[in-house]
Amino acid sequence: AAAVLVTGGMSLQAGLSEQKAKNEYDSIRQEVVVEPAAVEETEETREKNYPDLKIDFAKLTETNPDFRGWLYFPALDISYPVVQGEDNSYYLKRSFEGESVNAGCIFMDSEASADWSDRNTFIFGHNMRDGSMFGTFKNLFKGTTSCEEDPYFYIYTEDNVYIYEIFSYYETRGDSDRYATFTSEASYDDYVQWATEHSLYASDADLSDRGNIVTLSTCYGSAGTNRRALIHGVLTETAEY
């Protein structure tokens, strides 16, 4: 499942590509997403256990049929469409609208179930210098940002909102067994036990029900290394959207 995500050295062309990608994703957010701060609070929205984003799923699917959901991670200021290619290379240098950009897309593993039903679904994104895509991971790992007050990220689909509580994050290698799928309850337990013991974050998340996991992955450290940063979230609730 592991994808090779390398950002390379900075150049004028790379800088222009990053700006092009930033402009595109800013435009997508403005056109298809209304963030919670802009939504009028009502008794109904206060009762929801998730940020009340208003998302135009029809437009997103029309723009790119590979669209699988919207990832919203408030603590790291991450808000992007998630796509799924036929392999894990297609979206490395291709934007949501199909443009050639270094930032690529946020994409789920090509072999994952498109309905987010796998026991461990991997989502990949570049560690961009400007903090876009998964570039804010470094703030969490270096301790300049915390997820303690808001340890959740969310996947929005046309029908459901999947709420994930962060239970672990750490560095690993791109060829490590952290990119494994589960074949039994015992292998699930072994996986989360290792992740919890090696985590840079002490979580109170309840894993006793063996909820499905979403793992966010990006490159970490200098270009060309095999280091990865992983963030694990366990599904705590599925709400109707």
pLDDT tens, 19-36?
888 888 989 999 999 877
**Alpha helices (runs of H) in the chain, residue ranges in sequence order:** 12-32, 43-46, 57-63, 137-141, 185-197
Residue recorded with tokens 């940002």: 145
Q: What is the full DSSP assignment across 14-57?
A: HHHHHHHHHHHHHHHHHHHEE-GGGSPP-HHHHT-SS---EE-H
- The residue ranking higher by pLDDT, 219 or 12, is 219
Half-sphere exposure of residue 186, counting CA atoms within 13 Å on the CB side? 0
Residue 12 pLDDT more than 50? no
Q: Per the structure block, which two tokens stand in for 73? A: 């991670």
Which are the contacts of 137, defined by CB distance < 8 A and separation ≥ 6?
76, 127, 216, 218, 220, 229, 231
Full-model pTM: 0.89
Residue 5 pLDDT more than 50? no
Instruction: Kindly report the average pLDDT of the chain as a whole number.
Output: 89
Number of H helices, E strands in the chain: 5, 10
Buried b (16+ CB within 10 A) or exposed e, 8-30: eeeeeebeebbebbbebbeebbe
Q: What is the pLDDT of residues 164-206, one digit of tens each?
A: 999 999 999 999 999 988 889 999 999 999 999 999 999 999 9
Q: What is the pLDDT of residues 100-138, one digit of tens each?
A: 998 999 999 999 999 999 999 999 999 998 899 999 999
Residue 16 pLDDT more than 80? no
Lowest mean pLDDT among 26-40, 174-188, 210-224, 226-240: 26-40
